[in-house]
A and B are shown apart, each in its own frame.
Chain A
Amino acid sequence: MRFEEFVSARLAALMRYAVLLSGDREYARDIVQEVLARAMLRWHRIGAMEEPYGYVRRMVTNEFLSLLRRRRRVVTVPLEWAGEQRLTVEARPEADDEMWQVLGTLPRQQRAVIVLRYYEGLTDPEIAEVLRCRPATVRAYASRALSALRVELAPVGERKGVLS
């Protein structure tokens, strides 16, 4: 698959994923743009993979989780941007969406697990691979996040396909 074909087919999905991770559209654009730039430079290898989307999604996740990257951004963004980010929750029309607000307060790893599990539909072992941790750690993150979100788990039978 050529890089242009990948972008054409997958950019929207990557953006949706990054928006859910970061809770901020501008930040999400920043992350996806940086990741795509780096992916483009290595496309001869990434494009030859069986599932390039999975690899690039992992790059997006790592970019979002990278502690040092976050510090760098804080220093370089214009003041207006910092303000915009701070106001994201209260200025949004969906500000009454309590669950979205709580999602925004979760530690990043927990938020990533929730998005990967319930939006991207990954299994816990797959999430563990993305986050480079053990499946047990994924389950612990999910448990803490769902507790904070006050989500009641459905009976085991109904969860098949998500946790299997």
Chain B
Amino acid sequence: MNTLEELRLTLERHAGGPEDSAGIAQGAEARAGSIRRRRRVAGSAVAAVLVVAAAVGVPVAVGRKSSEPPPPSSVVKPHYRDASQLSVAMADGSPFALTNRGGDGVGQFASIRNRGDITSPRPGEAGLNAGAELLAYNPGEFDPAKLKQGEQVTVAGHPAWFSTALTFAASNVVPEGIYPTIGWEESSGVWVLVYTSDDGWQGHEAGKKAQLTEVADDVRLPAVTGVRTPFQFGWVPQGLPVSYVSIRDLPGIDPDARIGFGKSGYPTMQDLASGWPLSVTSTPDTNRDWPTIKADLGSPATIGGRNVWYVPRPSTLNSSGSPTGADLVVETGNCLVYLSVPERDVIGERDLKRMATEMTVSSCTDAKSWKPPVKG
């Protein structure tokens, strides 16, 4: 047996030192500035909800380089894909795989990782090319002028540009910063950017260019296909359309899916929980904390034989979302499904419970059984 004194000493020993705090204050300041800018763009969450009907179909500039103005409004934007459709893939036999992919009305994003690292118990130690991040802008959504000031290179046989001078605006997809990037235009008019947001590339530009080129060579954009999720809804409040998707469905990685409904008050490719009028997230119920959290939630209601909890915020379930929002948790099969709203006065308990009533859920861990998020 151990003693309380030993427990206290263990905590003291592992509590860290002053060196752990270096740079945090500056990071917090930058992050606060980023939040302020988002709020300026977004206005209030209520306002965001109110403009949904008017704004659907009018994509805002996103993840787009902040240094670059949006294309002139007269630019023709041929329809390429809906927000619920994705087209990014890796070439057959590539050592790289997409561990996460998604998109909205403006473009797509993906995380590309080395399969060797994915299957390794010690990823990164083998010194493999770790991969990169990807943005693919729908036709007419990206101004390549700044990129084209970079070095001309060749990717998979077509012209491309390598730049270390593109400024990325902050979002949950892209941390704010300047990153080495390779970009090119597909025949569809889609602009693809492959970049790394890792620190420490300065002084190693040539090595980064080689790594990014290796990744970019394997990127493909075949035909767009509709995204599939473990959950499928027969009814959605106000008929809100799918406006954002984020999927992890690679075998061997804990799968999950997140869907945003309606127009976000924030620029695109940003977080859902506070920006979309309605969002849905599903994860496998293997989180070891779930039994404890479940106990805290109290007695569930039952909808269609499933346990359901309606949790107004603020709550320990969701501390960082809008305090005027709410989450409905559905426990079903091997899935936990969260229906989240930033304004419970706009989309309330009754709406969320009706969604849960008219929801079918397949296996959270078997992506082959997934279906389109909304019944056609």
A, B: real partners? yes
Contact pick for A100, options B14, B319, B320, CB 8 Å: B14
> How far, in whole Å, are A150 and B254 apart by their CA atoms in the complex?
32
Set of chain A residues within 8 Å of B123, measured between Cβ atoms: 79-80, 82-83
Contact between A19 and B20 (Cβ–Cβ < 8 Å)? yes
The majority secondary structure among interface residues of chain A is helix
Can you list 6 pairs linking A and B with CB atoms under 8 Å apart?
A29-B24, A68-B327, A72-B273, A103-B10, A109-B292, A152-B4
Interface flag for A44 (CB, 8 Å): no
Contact pick for B24, options A32, A59, A63, A86, CB 8 Å: A32
Contact between B100 and A20 (Cβ–Cβ < 8 Å)? no
Contact between A79 and B7 (Cβ–Cβ < 8 Å)? no
Q: A68-B327, A108-B292 are in contact. Are A37 and B20 (CB under 8 A)?
A: no
Contact between A107 and B7 (Cβ–Cβ < 8 Å)? no
Q: Residues of B at under 8 Å CB distance from A? A: 1-4, 6-8, 10-16, 18, 20-21, 24-25, 27-29, 31-32, 34-36, 99-100, 111, 113-114, 117-118, 120-124, 130-131, 172-173, 197-198, 246, 248, 254, 256, 258, 271, 273, 281, 283, 287-289, 291-293, 296, 314-321, 327, 338, 340
> How far, in whole Å, are A11 and B28 apart by their CA atoms in the complex?
11
Would you list the 7 A-B pairs with minimal beta carbon distance, nearest first? A62-B319, A83-B123, A36-B28, A37-B31, A16-B15, A19-B16, A37-B32
> How far, in whole Å, are A84 and B122 apart by their CA atoms in the complex?
8
Q: A7-B25, A37-B28 are in contact. Are A71 and B198 (CB under 8 A)?
A: no
The majority secondary structure among interface residues of chain B is mixed
Contact between A99 and B6 (Cβ–Cβ < 8 Å)? yes
> How far, in whole Å, are A71 and B256 apart by their CA atoms in the complex?
9
Interface flag for A78 (CB, 8 Å): yes
Set of chain B residues within 8 Å of A153, measured between Cβ atoms: 4
Q: A16-B15, A103-B10, A109-B289 are in contact. Are A68 and B273 (CB under 8 A)?
A: yes
Contact pick for A19, options B15, B35, B273, B291, CB 8 Å: B15
